[in-house]
Structure 1
Amino acid sequence: MESLYSFNQSAYPFELFSLSHMSMILVTIILLVLLYFLRDRATRKTKTYIKYTLIAALIGGEVFFHGWYLANNRWDIIYNLPLQLSSISIYLCTFMLVTKNYRVFEISFFISMTSALIAIITPELFFGAPHLRFFQFFIVHIAIVLACFYMVWFEGYKATATSVIRAFLVLNFIVGCVFIINHLTGANYMFLSRKPNNATVIDLLGPYPWYILALEAIALSSFILLYLALFKRKTKRGD
C-alpha cells in the first residue's frame, strides 16, 4: 500500500496513451456528455450537488497534492508553488463556481479549460495507475474542464470576442509574473525556463525559447476556435 503514495516512480510508471491513460480520456468524454444532457433536466438540488462536487474535487485535489509532497518530505518552493497553469486554474475555477463572477469565467473558460484538456491528453505525469497521484491528477483536471462547461450549460454564461482578448492578455500577464519568479528561484513553472522532462506536445514546437512563442500562438488559436465553436452564434451574455 505504501507504494501507492510514495515517490517511487518505478513502482507504477506512467505510460502515455496506455490503457489507464486512455480510460481517463474516455471518462472525461463520458462526463462531459452526461453534463450536457443534464443541463436542461437537472433539478436545483442536482445542480447544487454537481457544483459542490466540483468544488470538493478541486480543493480536495489541491490539498492532497501538497499533503502528499509534505508527507514524503519533498515539498519545495521550486516545484510546489501554485504557479503552473493547472494550479492557477484550480483557484480560478473554485472562485468562479463559488462567486459566479463573470470576469473570472471569461478567463477560466479559455485559459483553464484549454490547459486542462492539453494536460489530460498529454500529461506531465510520472506516476501511473493505481498510484494515488495518477488519480489526483486526472480528477483535478477533469474537474477543471467540467467546471467551465458547468458555467455555460447550467448557469447560462456566454463568452464574447472581447473575452478572448481579455483572456489572452491575462494569460500573458500571468506568464510575465511567472517568468520573473522562475528567474528568481530557478524554477520552471509553466515550462518557461525549459521543456518538460517527459514527452509532451511541446517537444514538437522547437527549441527554447521558440516553443514559448509557438505555445502563445496555439493558445490564441485555441481561444478563437473555442469562441467560434461555442459562442459565435449566441449573443446572450452571462450576468
Structure 2
Amino acid sequence: MQILSRVQFGSLEHLLPIIVAVILCWFLFYQIKTQSDHLKFKVFKGLGIFVSGFMAIFHLYKIGQGGYSLQTDLPLFLCSFMALFIFIFTFTRRFLLFEILFFWTIVGTSQGVITPDIELGFPSYDYIRYWIVHLGLLTIIAYAIVVLKMRPKFKSVFKSFVVLQVYVLIIMVINYLLDANYSYLNNKPLSGSVLDLLGDWPNYVIVVQLALLPLFLLIYLPFFWSNKYYKTKNNNNNIY
C-alpha cells in the first residue's frame, strides 16, 4: 500500500500540475481568441462552475465522511474562499470583483503554487483539490485579462487592499473563536514558504501587511505602463 507524504518543493508532484495547466491555458486562449463573445463568456462561466463546484463537492464529501473539523476544514483560507465563490465573478463579470480578485490571486494564489502546502500527495483528494483551486483561480484571472481584456486601474490597488484588510480582521476573529489558523495568521505553513524569511509570529504577519500595498502597486505597474503607452499612441494617431 502506497504511503502518501507531504508534497515537496520542486518535486514532480509540484511541477507537473503547473506545466500541464500552462499548456492547457495556452491551448484554450489560442483557440478561444477568434471565437464569438458569446462563446467566450460561456467558457468563462464554465471555468467558474468547475472550480466552485469542485470546492462545494469536496467539502460536502468531507462532511459526509465524518470528522469534519471547524478548526482546519472550513474554506476560509484565502484561496479556498475565493474558489468557492469565484463563479459569482465569472457569471457577472463585475469589474469590482475583478479589481479585488486580481491582486488577491496574483499575490496569494501564486505564492501557493510556488510553495505548495499539501499534506498528502497524489492521488489524495486534498492534492487534487489544492491544484484545482490554485491553478483554477490563476486560469480564471488570466482568462479575464487575456481573453476578456479586463485591466485593473490605479484605484483597484487600494480597493483590493482595503477589502483584504476586512477579510483579515474577520479571519482573525474566527481564528480566535475556533482556536484555528486560517490564512496562516497564527502559525506559518508546515511545508515552508516565503513567510519563513519574515521572522516568527507576529512579525511575519506585520511584515506582510506592510508589504502588501507596495506589492500591489508593483503588480499594477505593467498595466500602468501599458495604459500610458496606448493612450499616448492613440493621442498621436488623433493628431494625424
Q: State if a TM-score over 0.5 links the two structures.
A: yes
CA distance in 2, matches of 1:160, 1:202: 28
Alignment check: 8 A CA contact 2:80 2:133 kept: no
CA distance in 1, matches of 2:101, 2:63: 28
TM-score when normalising by structure 1: 0.85
Alignment check: 8 A CA contact 1:12 1:131 kept: no
Instruction: Give deviations 1:44-81, integer Å, cap 9, x for gaps.
Output: 46424521331232123212331342243221111222
Which residue of structure 1 lines up, in the alignment, with residue 89 of structure 2? Answer: 96
Which residue of structure 2 lines up, in the alignment, with residue 181 of structure 1? Answer: 174
- The structure whose residues are more often helix, as a share, is 2
Within the candidate set 142, 148, 154, 2:141 is matched to 148
Which residue of structure 2 lines up, in the alignment, with residue 207 of structure 1? Answer: 200
Structure with max Cα Rg: 2
Say whether 1:78 aligns with 2:76.
no
CA distance in 1, matches of 2:139, 2:13: 20
CA distance in 1, matches of 2:179, 2:125: 28
CA distance in 2, matches of 1:149, 1:35: 11
Q: Structure 1 counterpart of 2:34, which letter?
A: R
Say whether 1:136 aligns with 2:129.
yes
Instruction: Show structure 1 runs of 5+ residues with no match.
Output: 4-9
Instruction: Show structure 2 runs of 5+ residues with no match.
Output: 231-240
CA distance in 1, matches of 2:11, 2:61: 24
Alignment check: 8 A CA contact 1:79 1:187 kept: yes
Which residue of structure 2 lines up, in the alignment, with residue 66 of structure 1? Answer: 59
Alignment check: 8 A CA contact 1:158 1:231 kept: no
CA distance in 1, matches of 2:107, 2:34: 27
CA distance in 2, matches of 1:190, 1:178: 8
TM-score when normalising by structure 2: 0.84
CA RMSD, Structure 1 to Structure 2 (Å): 2.4
Q: Cα 1:28–1:204, aligned 2, differ >3 Å: closer, same or farther?
A: farther
Task: Give the count of matched residue pairs.
Answer: 229
